Amino acid sequence: MSALGFMSMLFVRNTGELLATHRRLIACASASGYRLGKVYVQSPGPPDAVFDLLGSLLESDGLPLVVPTLHHLAVLGNPLEIRDHLLRSDHQVLIAIDPAERTC
């Protein structure tokens, strides 16, 4: 089964980090039993890619979404509310990068 990916360039510093993040999305999808299909990359500026992503999610029958962190969903609003809305709409949200552990 396929999954869609999404990342925002607001949280990616350079091409090397973009490629590394893309590999992490692939690994996360694979670890959950999915094949990562299209990855939408939102550039700074008008939210074109995010609207294309939403269109694809609406047209799909519950495709999962893989994001590096929930912060990447901030282009749509509150990331927790966006995640919860997607979950209520039968779209599993997979997070590829674990949050940093506290050291103290």
pLDDT tens for the chain, 104 residues: list them. 899 999 999 899 899 999 999 999 999 999 999 999 999 999 887 778 888 998 999 899 899 999 999 999 998 899 999 999 999 999 999 999 876 544 44
CA dihedral 72, 63, 1, 41 (to 10 degrees): -30
Tens of pLDDT, residue by residue over 57-85, are 989 989 999 999 999 999 889 999 999 99
Q: If you average pLDDT over every residue of the chain, what do you get?
A: 90
Q: How many helices (H) and strands (E) does the chain have?
A: 3, 4
Buried b (16+ CB within 10 A) or exposed e, 60-78: beebbbbbbbeebbebbee
The Cα–Cα gap between 94 and 36 comes to: 11
pTM of the model: 0.88
